[in-house]
Amino acid sequence: MRHSQYILAFFFTLILTTQARHHHHTKHKHSSHSNNNDNNTNNQSYPPSPPSDDDGSEIFNVRTFGAIGDGIADDTKSFKMAWDSACQSDSAINIVLVPRGFSFMVQSTIFTGPCQGGLVLKVDGTLMPPDGPESWPNNTSRRQWLVFYRINNMSLQGSGVIDGRGQNWWDLPCKPHKGPNGTTLPGPCDSPVALRFFMSSNLSVQGLRIKNSPQFHFRFDGCKSVRVDSIFITSPALSPNTDGIHIENTNDVRIYNSVISNGDDCVSIGTGCYDVDIKNITCGPSHGISIGSLGNHNSRACVSNITVRESTIKGSDNGVRIKTWQGGSGSVSKVTFSKIHMESVRNPIIIDQFYCLSKDCSNKSSAVFVSDIVYSNIKGTYDIRHPPMRFACSDSVPCTNLTLSDIELLPAQGDLFNDPFCWNAYGNLETLTIPPVSCLIEGLPQSLPGNDLSRC
């Protein structure tokens, strides 16, 4: 994952002048909807359920608003008109329909709320942006493609495909090429996130396929109550910075039953996230499931109450990872990784508090405080070129309360075990592990970071 620069003023100076014109659309008898997503949440309002023939929903077909759907014509205005009409409708559930059998090209666009009722964007056809930086209009943002801003109670679903057409972005000379003759050269490097949800709540993403994003496939910033279920995300293993799902300053998140393979983290968790549950994810090839990177540019980062469980990570550079920069502050705490199967993973279990993207990062005396991390029932195979467990903690801010149980990691090839690596890592073993971990320091360090450093 790479940190993007945010230009929030862009959103607050947006002038909403588009007025939806009256078009024919389909209206059904009104009825109410509910969705029981998870037993861990109570008294929550949920995004609309998939529509049925007599559910009282109102349908806004983008073709009715003039969209061509030939993959060439610019259908942006038609999508905006359909969205605005649905958003202003007083029906309980309003469906913007992207019909099957058509391919719609839409430029960088912000879909804004709040809306009058629940809103469903149902993608049954194919949705795509302009094809690469040469086709991208100069007057639109190159940092994002489709943005959903200040939306409450929205569902993104359907049987279609969202194709980010990322190849020409990945081939920019500035990108980190990893081929045998790879080079990285200076030059413009902004690439769009495919789908960004910003300052929104009660969101559901379900059943979609999304592929080949220029950068992150999904990004949730400043959101609350997010449900992602049964989605498929794919991009090549060497596509740079193509995180599957990135969340930041977002809480009450459920990511379930999905398949992700890409060129970066399957799921990346940034600062300001808490109450996150990730379950039944098939991840890889990728860079694994990561918390971080955190603390870049001496920033404060806070992450807590994270669970990753009952998932498979295969053919990936990392398994479950916590990565922080030197010089940061704040904390990562109350994290559980459990019932995870590894298949030929380079670094199945890793804490890296010396994360750096170049060779000239200087040593610093402060760091994000990592504590109360549980690794339970993690089994499988690892790439013998790397240690199966690596706990590289800060010189000045040790990791504490690392707990390991039922760990069984075997070499993918041969029968020689690599020893785990520990540096300034405090914790305990609840069971024997394979390979044995003898490098954890028992108890607690003599000194812990002060409240000002680790406070969140």
Residue 345 above 90 pLDDT? yes
- State mean pLDDT over 431-453: 88
Residue 181 is predicted with a pLDDT of 62
Domain ranges in the chain are 265-357+370-446
Residue of 361 and 228 predicted with greater confidence: 228
Q: Of 25, 33, 246, 287, which is the active-site residue? A: 287
- Maximum C-alpha span of the chain: 72
Closest CA to 356 of 295, 301, 304: 295
Residue 452, H or E segment: helix 451-454
Residue 32 above 70 pLDDT? no
CATH architecture of 265-357+370-446: 3 Solenoid (2.160)
Residue 186 is predicted with a pLDDT of 77
Q: Confidence class of residue 41 from pLDDT cuts 50, 70 and 90? A: very low
- State mean pLDDT over 62-73: 98
Least confident of 38-52, 82-96, 425-439: 38-52
Distance CA 49, CA 254 (A): 16
Residue of 442 and 451 predicted with greater confidence: 442
Q: In sequence order, what are the beta bridge partners of 26?
A: 59
Residue 188 above 80 pLDDT? no
Residue 19 above 50 pLDDT? no
Residue 196 is predicted with a pLDDT of 98
Find the angle CA(243)-CA(244)-CA(247) to the nearest 5 degrees: 80
Distance CA 188, CA 238 (A): 20
CA 293 to chain centre: 13
Distance CA 25, CA 119 (A): 15
Distance CA 454, CA 456 (A): 6
What's the token pair of residue 364? 């610093």
Closest CA to 57 of 102, 114, 97: 97
Is 287 among the catalytic positions? yes
Closest CA to 230 of 264, 196, 254, 251: 254
- State mean pLDDT over 161-169: 97
Residue 444's Cβ-side half-sphere holds a number of Cα atoms within 13 Å equal to 8
Percent of the chain surpassing pLDDT 70: 86
Under 8 Å between Cβ of 407 and 433: yes
Under 8 Å between Cβ of 259 and 230: no
331, amino acid identity? S
